Amino acid sequence: MQTFVATVSALIGGAPIIRTELALHIADAMISPVWVVGGVLLWRRKAFGYVAGLGLLFQASMLFVGLIIVLLIQPLMTTASFAPIDILVVFAMSIICFIPLGLFTRGAVKNT
């Protein structure tokens, strides 16, 4: 909710915000309702829910892949130090998306 309020506030010019943060807030504000709708459709076992679920799990998995790549490349491009713990934590969190994506894909392939 705070992200949504910050986005609306920045868009109407009420609060100063960095452009990259604004882009992040807008992206979060746009994708969050899609996650909720996709979850409700899956819960109700609607066909579009399964299509949306696969796309949303893929999107979240690619977000983690991109973040790991950035964490690996960042020390080469900036003065930041290499942080293996950060990479391990992000990888552990990515399991939340990768395992359901694999199971979801396996089920979809088996049913065709």
DSSP string, 52-92: HHHHHHHHHHHHHHHHHHHHHHHHHHSSPPP-HHHHHHHHH
Tens of pLDDT, residues 26-70: 788 888 889 899 999 989 989 898 888 889 999 989 999 999 999
Domain boundaries, the chain: 1-45, 46-112
Quote the tokens at residue 54: 């696969």
pTM for this model (two decimals)? 0.69
